[in-house]
């Protein structure tokens, strides 16, 4: 077999087309330089199928003649390991960010350093008894005891209500995130739709790079709300091969039922999430649990105050069982500095209650303040670390997947030169063929 006359023309044409395709990819990269989640693409070249020439070698055997270049695929530059690291840190950052903000609100409810500070009000209450001990018969001193007790009781109720509100809001926020109007449902629905589109494209032998970018971006966004685990769809065909190679299964928040399976999106509920779903959901659930602990401590404080003060007093000062129902039943007329039936100058009761200063109630409140402060500090530290690591991983991902204008410009010049060279070869082949076709056999005419 001889070499066909148009072989060189086709070889040069393939070169022109391949370089053109590479330039088209560069144009696509540049156009999407600011597109969120876009992964840089490149045209992967490979030698086209060679032409077999029989009996052309000296020994009579066949030879192969190269026929140029083809674009094998359009590759999306992506690092799966960095994707996993990014989503893990995004989950941690989402959780710590929510925890920091909401526990910060609880800490501000303490009003530390202000006139409403529980520690200040407790100190005022003990001081009022100290004043009464020095003036056992003073009506003003007795009124001051009642006033300090009422202010303290009101503060217990207000603080308990404020802290409870933080917990209620956190619980409601979890339900909002998981509702049909929340941000998770649209992500799950679109992921299910992308599963179908990507599977169809790959089944047709097409690399759906832009669809894959969109899917990865949605998974990145989802990771901020909870733990995300992605696996290939496990369905097998009769031959034991993946039946839907373009589909993924997305597990979320530790729920037993996948959030996305093939083209179905199944939203989890608060009950089906794991105890540690991670992300914003985990942060909100953690805040709600911590708030319950704070309220329990506050209730124990109030109960201790009611019990110890009433036990030391000749008449009840407080009623109720905890922070949410503590009230003052004493009046200026019922308050007594001494024991019932004692001398007018008796101040034993006032001295006994004054001695409670710095005791169990004060210690419990100081412990509550320290606990909340420690939790806020821990959340702040975790948030700072998580965001720092997230920034670092983002930079690493950008170095792999991000579009660099300098690099694209360099590649553009490279493929432009390749295009020009292939075009020149094509022109040369065209001239040769023109001579062959139009000038051969015209000698002497």
* Farthest CA pair distance, the chain: 152
**The pLDDT of residue 59:** 66
Tokens standing for residue 31: 């156009």
3-state secondary structure 342-360: CCCCCCHHHHHHHCCCCCH
Q: How many residues does the chain have?
A: 445
Residue 74 host element (H or E): strand 69-76
What's the chain's Rg over C-alpha atoms?
39
**The pLDDT of residue 60:** 60
Reported as half-sphere exposure (CB side, CA atoms, 13 A), residue 251 has a value of 15
The CA distances from residue 101 to 108, 205, 379, 383, in Å, are 11, 48, 9, 10
**The pLDDT of residue 55:** 62
**The pLDDT of residue 444:** 53
| Distance, CA of 139 to CA of 144 (rounded, Å) | 9
Against a cut of 0.85, is the pTM above it? yes
**The pLDDT of residue 442:** 58
Cβ neighbours of residue 348 under 8 Å, at least 6 residues apart? 337, 338, 339, 342
Nearest to 405 by CA among 11, 31, 15: 31
Q: 330-355 b/e with 16+ CB inside 10 Å = b? A: beeeebbbbeeeeeeebbbbbbbbbe
Cβ neighbours of residue 331 under 8 Å, at least 6 residues apart? 146
**Per-residue pLDDT for the chain (445 aa), expressed as one digit of tens each?**
567 767 888 888 999 999 999 999 999 999 999 999 999 999 999 999 888 876 655 666 677 888 889 999 999 999 999 999 999 999 999 999 999 999 999 999 998 888 889 999 999 999 999 999 999 999 999 999 999 999 999 999 999 999 999 999 999 999 999 999 999 999 999 999 999 999 999 988 888 999 999 999 999 999 999 999 999 999 988 888 888 989 999 999 999 999 999 999 999 999 999 999 999 999 999 999 999 999 999 999 999 999 999 999 989 999 999 999 999 999 999 999 888 877 888 899 999 999 999 999 999 999 999 999 999 999 999 999 999 999 999 999 999 999 999 999 999 999 999 999 999 998 988 888 888 777 776 555 5
**The pLDDT of residue 420:** 94
Long-range pairs of 385-391 with CB within 8 A, sequence gap ≥ 24 = 386/89, 386/92, 386/93, 386/96, 387/93, 387/97, 389/89, 390/86, 390/89, 390/90, 390/93
Pairing status of strand 63-65 against strand 69-76: unpaired
**The pLDDT of residue 5:** 67
Tokens standing for residue 409: 């410009």
Do the beta carbons of residue 250 and residue 87 sit within 8 Å? no
**Residue entry with tokens 């004692």:** 342
**The pLDDT of residue 87:** 95
Tokens standing for residue 302: 């109030």
Do the beta carbons of residue 187 and residue 177 sit within 8 Å? no
């Amino acid at each position: 077999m001889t070499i066909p006359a148009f072989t060189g023309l086709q070889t040069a044409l393939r070169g022109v087309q391949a370089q053109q395709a590479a330039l088209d990819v560069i144009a696509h990269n540049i156009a999407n330089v600011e597109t969120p989640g876009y992964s840089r693409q490149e045209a992967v070249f490979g030698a086209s199928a060679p032409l077999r020439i029989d009996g052309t070698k000296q020994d009579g055997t066949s030879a192969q003649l190269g026929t140029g270049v083809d674009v094998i695929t359009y590759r999306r530059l992506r690092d799966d390991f960095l994707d996993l690291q990014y989503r893990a840190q995004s989950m941690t950052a989402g959780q710590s960010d929510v925890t920091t903000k909401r526990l910060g609100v609880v800490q501000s409810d303490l009003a530390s350093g202000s006139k409403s500070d529980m520690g200040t009000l407790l100190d005022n209450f003990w001081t009022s008894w100290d004043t009464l001990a020095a003036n056992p018969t003073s009506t003003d001193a007795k009124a001051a005891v009642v006033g300090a007790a009422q202010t303290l009781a009101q503060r217990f109720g207000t603080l308990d209500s404020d802290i409870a509100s933080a917990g209620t809001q956190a619980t409601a926020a979890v339900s909002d995130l998981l509702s049909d109007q929340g941000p998770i449902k649209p992500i799950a629905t679109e992921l299910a739709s992308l599963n179908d589109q990507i599977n169809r494209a790959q089944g047709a032998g097409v690399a759906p790079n832009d669809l894959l970018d969109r899917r990865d971006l949605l998974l990145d966004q989802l990771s901020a709300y909870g733990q995300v685990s992605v696996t290939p769809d496990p369905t097998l065909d009769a031959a034991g091969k993946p039946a839907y190679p373009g589909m993924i299964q997305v597990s979320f928040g530790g729920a037993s039922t996948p959030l996305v399976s093939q083209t179905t999106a199944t939203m989890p509920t608060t009950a089906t999430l794991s105890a540690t779903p991670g992300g914003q959901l985990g942060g909100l659930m953690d805040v709600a649990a911590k708030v319950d602990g704070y309220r329990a401590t506050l209730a124990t404080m109030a109960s201790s105050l009611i019990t110890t003060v009433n036990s030391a007093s000749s008449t009840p000062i407080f009623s109720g069982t905890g922070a949410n129902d503590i009230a003052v039943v004493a009046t200026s007329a019922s308050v007594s500095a001494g024991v019932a039936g004692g001398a007018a100058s008796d101040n034993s009761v006032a001295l006994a209650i004054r001695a409670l200063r710095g005791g169990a109630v004060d210690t419990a409140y100081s412990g509550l303040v320290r606990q909340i402060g420690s939790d806020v500090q821990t959340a702040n530290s975790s948030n700072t670390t998580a965001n720092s690591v997230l920034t670092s991983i983002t930079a690493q991902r950008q170095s792999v997947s991000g579009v660099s204008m300098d690099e694209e410009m360099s590649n553009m010049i490279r493929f432009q030169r390749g295009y020009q060279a292939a075009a020149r070869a094509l022109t040369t082949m065209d001239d040769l063929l023109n001579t062959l076709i139009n000038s051969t056999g015209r000698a002497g005419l």
